[in-house]
């Protein structure tokens, strides 16, 4: 099937303004790294997502779902297929009342249904606006709700598993179903969504009424801690490695004397060794070589195997 036919078909489904060709992925990742995706689609409805998934499956065209691209390293060669972004154009929300039945209702729990493209920081701000506590931990996480559920994102003592009641997901055949918190099988930086390559469409979260002043103060404390401890002045994909059992990746890397270690434009942050940053000219190849050398060094010194937390897309895994 010709490229022009694919473009025409995708535009017919998603709309003329929601399909781009040869879109540079550096514009859609917080790392600011990545070559062009063949097709870049931003659907605005569940029906469009379902139609696109079925269309791509029938034509054996690979695709990948992203939100804000905050935990992603895309190859310098880009991605041969369709990138479907569920972010600002798929980020509605509503407060729920009678349709959520739970004993917790009597305790004053507030339920919000959000589309998966809503940003985590935006949702945390929304919660604070309505004096709802429970989302403060996410006030500095740059990803989307869908991505947060997929990887059970967490920080500062909170995780998505603590607030998600249920999620509506779609499988690779376009089938839609609901999974409750238990069925989502949350783990450390993973979930059933990741294991089965499901697409999160929307989620219901549960928050508690609280004191707005105290909520905002906690969010400010978290923001200040991030500024003090994390290299926010550089593009990055967040924490580069998962926390190995019994250790902290950043401490191992720092103890190995690797702070400031550089390959091309990629560098181990001197502020926090758990972050690999883009100093302004890094390629995906630089990041891969740097992280490979870090992992090798840590294994040689400590016998600990570091596992990337950042997802790699568009090139063969090591």
Give the residue numbers annotated as catalytic, written as ranges. Answer: 189, 239, 309
Say how many C-beta atoms besides its own lie within 10 A of residue 44's C-beta.
Answer: 19
Rounded to whole angstroms, how far apart are CA atoms 304 and 249? Answer: 9
SS3 310: coil
Helix H or strand E encompassing 20: strand 19-24
Kindly tell me the burial class for residue 96, based on how many C-beta atoms sit within 10 Å of its own C-beta (0-12, 13-18, 19 or more): middle
Q: Which residue has the tokens 């002045």?
A: 233
Dihedral sign (CA 239, 145, 279, 34): positive
Closest CA to 177 of 50, 22, 277: 50
């Amino acid at each position: 099937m010709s490229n022009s036919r694919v473009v025409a078909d995708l535009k017919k489904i998603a709309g003329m303004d929601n399909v781009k060709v040869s879109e540079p992925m550096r514009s859609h990742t917080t790392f600011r790294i990545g070559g062009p995706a063949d097709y870049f689609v931003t659907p605005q409805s569940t029906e469009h997502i379902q139609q696109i998934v079925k269309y791509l499956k029938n034509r054996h065209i690979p695709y990948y779902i992203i939100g804000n691209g905050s935990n992603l390293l895309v190859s310098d060669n880009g991605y041969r297929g369709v990138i479907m972004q569920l972010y600002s154009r798929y980020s509605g929300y509503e407060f729920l009342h009678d349709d959520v039945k739970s004993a917790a209702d009597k305790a004053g729990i507030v339920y919000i249904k959000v589309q998966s493209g809503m940003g985590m920081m935006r949702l945390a701000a929304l919660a604070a606006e309505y004096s709802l506590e429970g989302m403060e931990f996410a006030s500095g996480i740059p990803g989307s709700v869908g991505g947060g559920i997929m990887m059970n994102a967490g920080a500062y003592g909170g995780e998505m598993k603590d607030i998600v009641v249920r999620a509506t997901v779609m499988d690779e055949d376009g089938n839609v179903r609901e999974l409750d918190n238990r069925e989502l099988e949350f783990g450390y930086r993973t979930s059933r969504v990741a294991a089965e390559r499901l697409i999160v469409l929307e989620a219901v979260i549960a928050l508690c009424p609280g004191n707005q002043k105290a909520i905002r103060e906690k969010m400010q404390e978290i923001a200040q801690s991030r500024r003090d401890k994390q290299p926010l002045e550089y593009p990055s994909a967040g924490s580069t490695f998962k926390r190995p059992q019994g250790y902290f990746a950043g401490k191992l890397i720092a103890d190995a004397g690797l702070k400031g270690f550089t390959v091309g434009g990629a560098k181990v942050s001197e502020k926090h060794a758990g972050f690999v940053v883009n100093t302004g000219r890094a390629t995906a190849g630089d990041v891969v070589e740097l992280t490979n050398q870090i992992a090798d060094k840590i294994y040689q010194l400590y016998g600990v195997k570091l596992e990337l937390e950042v997802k790699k897309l568009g090139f063969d895994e090591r």
